[in-house]
């Protein structure tokens, strides 16, 4: 009964491939996020998404695209993977849509290694 | 310069010591989050606070909105407190994170 789950936990792939990371939350939350944590442990927000709007961090390459089949899922698709994409990717969710002060719940992370 | 600065970056303490981690931010916010990342990588939200002080067990978080500063205190530290502690502030459409403070508590 994990609140926020991600699959896979580990992903190893070669440059140029296209891959997806799945995220599901069973909390009934309205807003979901994708974060990237680089080798220096620095967390950066990539996307936030709710029923009404997708907000993209302008520094994120357009090779990255979030896809939300329903409110409980926000998957991350990455095209043409590059070495620099190697990182840990965290999914998170929070209850509201307008109040960014709600607590976020994080998934366990997906460690992506691009060879 | 990062919008959120934490200090110290690394901290080693003896079991039982009182620990303080500081966070300063330069953006206008309505609340601040303290997160804990365990050695295994999982991230847990410890506190979300917009004013004053919050306490949860041996953890205490304070914030001064006027001074744009928050502190996380750990009383009677224990080796299981060893983790990376991250300060995060939501503002506008962004969520800014500090670089984290790596805490090691030695038995």
The conformation of residue A104, written as its DSSP 8-state character, comes to P
Measure the CA–CA gap between A2 and B79, rounded to whole angstroms: 26
The pLDDT of residue A101:
57
Chain B: residue nearest A92 by CA? B43
- Quote the minimal CA–CA distance from A101 to chain B in Å: 6
The pLDDT of residue A91:
94
pLDDT 10s digits, A19-37: 999 999 999 988 899 999 8
- Quote the minimal CA–CA distance from B32 to chain A in Å: 8
| pLDDT tops 60 at residue B38 | yes
**Exposed (0-12), middle (13-18) or buried (19+): which is B18, by Cβ within 10 Å?**
exposed
């Amino acid at each position: 009964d994990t609140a926020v789950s991600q699959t896979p936990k580990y992903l190893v792939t070669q440059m140029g491939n296209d891959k997806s990371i799945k995220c599901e939350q069973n909390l009934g939350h309205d807003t979901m996020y994708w974060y990237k944590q680089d080798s220096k442990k620095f967390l950066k927000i990539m996307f936030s998404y709710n029923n009404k709007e997708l907000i993209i961090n302008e520094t994120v390459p357009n090779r990255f695209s979030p896809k939300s089949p329903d409110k409980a899922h926000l998957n991350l698709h990455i095209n043409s993977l590059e070495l620099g994409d190697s990182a840990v990717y965290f999914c998170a969710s929070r209850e509201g849509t307008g109040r960014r002060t709600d607590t976020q719940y994080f998934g366990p992370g997906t460690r992506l290694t691009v060879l | 310069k990062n919008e959120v600065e934490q200090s110290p970056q690394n901290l080693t303490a003896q079991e039982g010591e009182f620990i303080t981690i500081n966070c300063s931010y330069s953006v206008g916010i309505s609340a601040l989050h303290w997160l804990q990342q365990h050695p295994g990588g999982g991230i847990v939200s410890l506190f979300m606070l917009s004013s004053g002080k919050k306490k949860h067990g041996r953890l205490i978080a304070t914030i001064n909105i006027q001074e744009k500063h928050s502190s996380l205190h750990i009383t009677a530290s224990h080796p299981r407190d060893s983790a990376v502690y991250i300060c995060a502030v939501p503002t506008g459409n962004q969520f800014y994170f500090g670089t984290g403070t790596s805490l090691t508590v030695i038995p």
